[in-house]
Structure 1
Amino acid sequence: MAASVAQEFYKLREEWHKIDKIDSWKIAVWEAEYPDVDIIDKFMEVERSPIGIFDDIFFRFESIYPGDDKAFAAMLWQEYLEWFEPVAHPEKDILQALLDAGLLTEAYKPAEQLEQNLSNLWQELLRLRAAMAGFNARFVLYFPIVPYNNYHISDWFQKVMQTVPEGLRLVTMDFARDKRLNLYDEKKKGSIVYLRPVLDMPAAINNEMKKSSSNYNTMDVHARYRQQIIVLMETTTVLKNPKTGSEVKKLLQIAQEIGTPNAIIGSLLIASQANYAINQLSESNAYADRAIDLAEEKMDTDPNYYHMWKTCVMIKAAVFTMNKAYKEALVQYEKLATKASAFQDVYYAMEARRLAALIYYERKDYNLAFEYLLLALLAGAYMDIEMRRNSLYIHVAYLALELGAAVRPKPVLEELKLQIEEWLGADWETLLQQEGVAAIKTKSKKPLFNFKN
């Protein structure tokens, strides 16, 4: 049976059913592939609504961990109190929803006078639960994933695991391919459970798009746009496919019919990616230029356009690099590093510096290559330690040490090692020696950092 969104959603229900009746767990972690994050989040939202099928009552906390436990507890308290404030939209009134559902059988008002610490918040949630006569199920408190927060919530979960009282459960999400949650069950009581659904969301979404577009009304411009994206991307499986150019033109024409900046810039981005995929580099560059110009006009007032902009800049820089136009590629990476820093996108600030360093190495400017690796390390240091330890950051550290040994005196290298220990932890040497790290090379045919003439 072809994958569908509904089918994938029911897989999530089956996965949750596995842990629903297990009494021991306090924290559940969804380990999600990148395409699956949205549907898992939607599943948690459905369970938070009246149409959820599980007995537990689900709540959602949006507060972002600031790196300070006391400050986070106060933020959670404030968010909790806001649940019970008068709201303009009745559908968002949690207290009224509980009353309407017949779950709340006695008057309840949050105890605002309590000290805003985590222990009191747990007790207040239990007091709300006790106000529901005859209600024996638990409260499930959902903390959505925050991919680029400077302070990761992993340490907080580890600290609070043993403080979560009976009647409450915590749930969050982690990336399966870039794990940042490093939790362990100190007392071996089954306090942690992991949910690892096997989904195929790209296929499901593709099938839904085909299904909704196969019999589409020719007057529905959005349906034609979706269908045209499918047609275009199917041409990219053949290098230098002559059909790609004509399908790109059709997509751009439909985008003009839609008329929104998002559709126009998005179609130019897709055109650039499609041409890059079939190795039509000059065409890819031209479309990227048009998208970059339009996105630059919009992104200072709407940050969503920054993500389109950076993708196009990365494509443009890659094209220059493939053509050995290193000077032009470096200009793009400088632009990206500057904008990424302005938008607090620390990962791409690091990545821009790393790629620039590799170009300087190819140009045999080893001192500048080393300096740019240091800039990449400094940019990436703003990520939380778990992200540093599970990303390209360790590659940057490895390259910096390898090149530093050749271009800097030993005292400088020793100082760098101390700094890397601070950034990566006491086991940094073991971390850099893990499989794949020691084998990191440039795309040059020569070994990395071989200075023999």
Structure 2
Amino acid sequence: MTTSPSIGQEFYKVRETWAAADQNKQWKLALWLVQYADVDIIDKFLETERTAIGIFKEIFFRFDTPYSEDHEAYEQALWQEYLDWFKPIPREEYDIYGALKKDRLLKEDYQPDGSLPPCVQSIWTELLRFKSLIIGLEDVGCCIYFPPLRPDQAHGGEWLASVLKKGLPDGIRLVTIDVITNPVIAIPRKIPAEQVLILQPSLNMVGAVKNEMDKAGGNSDNVSVDARFRAQIRKVLDCTTQADAGVMDYEVTILLSLCKKMGGVSYMVSGYMIAAQAYFMIREQNKSSSYADKAITQSRQLMDAEDPAGYPTWKSCVMIKAAILVGKRKRKQAIALYEALAYEGANRGDAFMILEGNRLCGHLYYELGQLNLAFEHLLLALTGGSYLELEVRRQSTFLHAAAMSVQLCEKVRGQEDGKILQDQLHELLGDDWAALLQAEGLDNAMVRRKATLFEFN
């Protein structure tokens, strides 16, 4: 008799796998090699270990700097991220260093040595020095977590291998995650096998999530239209992993039939939106576009009737439709949709949509060679983004809009306007705004985005 998996059970499998690994003191890099669906539970486990409720002795740290093929620039950005940990933070609840001082857990004040070269060896040195000043943690090791790379990023194995080759001091170990079906980390054989530990727990997160959804939706109710509707959504989304248009057609037909039985425009809009997203994911552009059009039209009716379900569906489907148009190089039609998105975002106080709509208009006008219009939309994007929290601005597409506006300002405006723009970015992003825009080639945002916009073709 088999037991249905739960999210809790899968989490404890991950924890047990790490407990076994923790007993091995030889490795310097732990590489989780799992299915894509299992990445999130590994990430959540490592994030839990960073908090006070973590159960393992090591102190876990995380670096979020996007990986770059330029290893020297990447390490400089990592060093800058480390320095930023110790800068004053406006919101007290995020100030870990301030909390340590407040609780009198530091033997003395600590500030990173800014004279050290900007490389990972300096980070290890400073981390160990910082840890030695925390009362009770003098003999505890550090585990540094690098989040998994995106599939479109450069392979990271060579950089990790170079770090291992240079040597990690006692008390420093690394951990990251890779997807077994599309790996982007290959450690060269020249690295001693005992330094790299491969972790491959037998997980079933797909089954666990389905079981949790069944519980939420009423697992015992297999007859009601509502229960069948919820189950059918999962079937449609499961089809996106098969990329079989015939199977998708069949499941979408059933989904839309259930939407009609449930009655009401909101259910049909939801069905059309799910169909548009599902076909988009398997690159069936025409079908995705058709369903997106239907969802846009009917969600607009809901918006006019002040139904709260209308706007979220509308903006999702507008983004899908516009992405399809961009993929077909129909830039002017896509611009019209993005302008509508920004306009509606302004009417509804949706700062992120003001940012995204105008940012994407700016990219497309740039591709069309209309630089003045591109620059104007990017300024509007920055205006919309200014209403977001500072933390969001520093970690979102606001940086792309900022980088592109700086470069375009040099082309279409004078030096005086450039200085005004830089002063505004200083205010909106902080003292290190220029370094932020250089991360992962953002200083060449126009060139990069023009070649890979949406990565749809």
Q: Same fold (TM over 0.5)?
A: yes
Contact 1:99 1:105 survives alignment (8 Å)? no
* Shift in Å, 1:201: 1.0
SS of the residue 2:194 aligns to: coil
Deviation at 1:114, TM superposition (A): 2.1
Give, in whole Å, the separation in 2 of the partners of 1:142 and 1:251: 47
Aligned partner of 1:151 in structure 2 is 154
Deviations 1:367-400 (A, max 9, x none): xxxxxxxxxxxxxxxxxxxxxxxxxxxxxxxxxx
TM-score, normalization: structure 1? 0.56
In the alignment, the residues of structure 1 paired with residue 318 and residue 29 of structure 2 have an alpha-carbon distance, to the nearest angstrom, of 36
Offset from partner CA, 1:10-34 (integer Å, 9 cap, x none):
1110111111121111111111201
One-letter code aligned to 2:179: F
1:158 Cα shift? 0.7
**191-200 vs 142-151, which deviates more?**
142-151
Bigger drift between 86-95 and 168-177 goes to: 86-95
CA contact (8 A) 2:142 2:172 kept: yes
Residue type at the aligned position of 1:208: E
Identify the range of structure 1 (285-294 vs 234-243) with the bigger mean alpha-carbon deviation: 234-243
Q: Is the 8 A contact 2:151 2:184 kept in 1?
A: no
1:194 counterpart SS class = strand
Measure, in 1, the Cα distance between the counterparts of 2:316 and 2:255. 30
Alignment match, 1:354: none
Cα pair 2:60 2:142 within 8 Å, conserved = yes
Match of 1:194 in 2: 198
Corresponding position of 2:168? 164
Task: Give the match for residue 424 of structure 1.
Answer: none
Q: Deviations over 1:427-451 (max 9, x none)?
A: xxxxxxxxxxxxxxxxxxxxxxxxx
1:137 is matched with: 140
Contact in 2 for aligned 1:213/1:224 (Cα 8 Å):
no
Tell me the equivalent position of 1:291.
292
> Match of 2:158, SS?
helix
Q: TM-score, normalised by structure 2?
A: 0.55
Counterpart of 1:180 in structure 2 is: 184
Q: For residue 106 of structure 1, report the CA deviation from its aligned partner.
A: 3.1
AA of the residue aligned to 1:168: I
Q: Distance in 1 between matches of 2:161 and 2:86?
A: 29
Following the alignment from structure 1 to structure 2, what is the Cα–Cα distance between the partners of residues 187 and 272? Answer: 44
CA distance in 2, matches of 1:256, 1:64: 39
CA distance in 1, matches of 2:37, 2:184: 17
Letter in 2 for 1:63: T
The whole-number CA distance in structure 2 between the counterparts of 1:252 and 1:154 is 53
**Which amino acid in the other structure matches residue 210 of structure 2?**
N
Report the CA distance between 1:334 and its aligned residue. Answer: 4.4
Distance 1:189 1:237 in 2: 44
On the 8 A contact 2:67/2:149 being kept in 1, the answer is: no
Alignment gaps of 5+ in structure 2? 221-225, 240-245, 301-310, 335-359, 362-457
For 1:138 and 1:102, the matched residues in 2 are separated by 21
1:252 and 1:101 map into 2 onto residues whose CA distance is 58
Letter in 2 for 1:186: K
- Is the alpha carbon distance of 1:184 and 1:291 closer, same or farther for their aligned partners in structure 2, counting shifts above 3 Å? same
Q: Summarize the Cα distance change of 1:84–1:250 in structure 2 as closer, same or farther, 3 Å threshold.
A: farther
Between the aligned partners of 1:143 and 1:266, the Cα distance in structure 2 is: 35
The Cα offsets for residues 175-202 of structure 1, whole Å up to 9 and x where unpaired, read as 1111221114636361100111211111
Q: Tell me the SS of whatever aligns to 2:125.
A: helix
Q: How many Å apart are 1:123 and its aligned residue?
A: 0.7
The residue that corresponds to 2:346 in the other structure is none
- What is the DSSP-based 3-state SS (H/G/I as helix, E as strand, rest coil) of the residue aligned with 2:197? strand
- CA change 1:184–1:290 in 2 (3 A) is same
Q: Which residue of 1 aligns with 2:53?
A: 51
1:256–1:161 CA distance, 2 compared to 1 (3 A): same
Partner of 2:31: 29
C-alpha spacing 1:185/1:75, structure 2 compared with 1 (3 Å):
same
Deviation at 1:71, TM superposition (A): 1.1
Q: Is the 8 A contact 1:65 1:152 kept in 2?
A: no
User: CA 1:303–1:268 in 2, change beyond 3 Å: closer, same or farther?
Assistant: closer
Q: Label 1:194 to 1:128 Cα distance change in 2 as closer, same or farther (>3 A).
A: same
User: SS of the counterpart of 1:29?
Assistant: strand
How far, CA to CA, are the matches of 1:83 and 1:265 in structure 2? 45
Offset, 1:141: 0.7
Tell me the alpha carbon deviations over residues 252-278 of structure 1, each in whole angstroms, 9 at most, x when there is no partner: 957459x8xxx676423267599x9xx
- 2:211 paired with 1:207: yes
Alignment partner of 1:174: what SS? Answer: strand
SS class of match (2:159): helix
Q: Is 1:19 aligned to 2:59, yes or no?
A: no
Q: Distance in 2 between matches of 1:267 and 1:18?
A: 42
- Pair 237,156 (structure 1): closer, same or farther in 2 beyond 3 Å: closer
Q: CA RMSD in A?
A: 4.5
Paired with 2:238 and 2:162, the residues of 1 have a C-alpha distance of: 49
- 1:72 paired with 2:83, answer no
1:268 aligns with 2:314: no
The number of residues matched between the two structures is 306
- Percent same amino acid among aligned pairs? 32
* Secondary structure at the counterpart of residue 112 of structure 1: coil
Tell me the secondary structure at the aligned position of residue 49 of structure 1. coil
AA aligned opposite 2:20: K
Distance 1:120 1:75, change over 3 A: same
SS in 2 for 1:190: helix
Aligned to 1:81: 83
Taking structure 1 as reference, are residues 104 and 337 closer, same or farther at Cα in structure 2, changes over 3 Å only?
Answer: farther
- Identify if the C-alpha distance between structure 1 residues 305 and 82 changes in structure 2 by more than 3 Å, giving closer, same or farther: farther
SS of 2:257's equivalent?
helix
Corresponding residue of 2:92 = 90
1:122 is aligned to 124
Deviation at 1:137, TM superposition (A): 2.1
Q: Deviations over 1:331-363 (max 9, x none)?
A: 997459999xx99xxxxxxxxxxxxxxxxxxxx
Query: Residues of 1 paired with 2:23 and 2:330: CA distance?
Result: 49
Matches of 2:219 and 2:134, distance apart in 1: 49
Partner of 2:65: 63
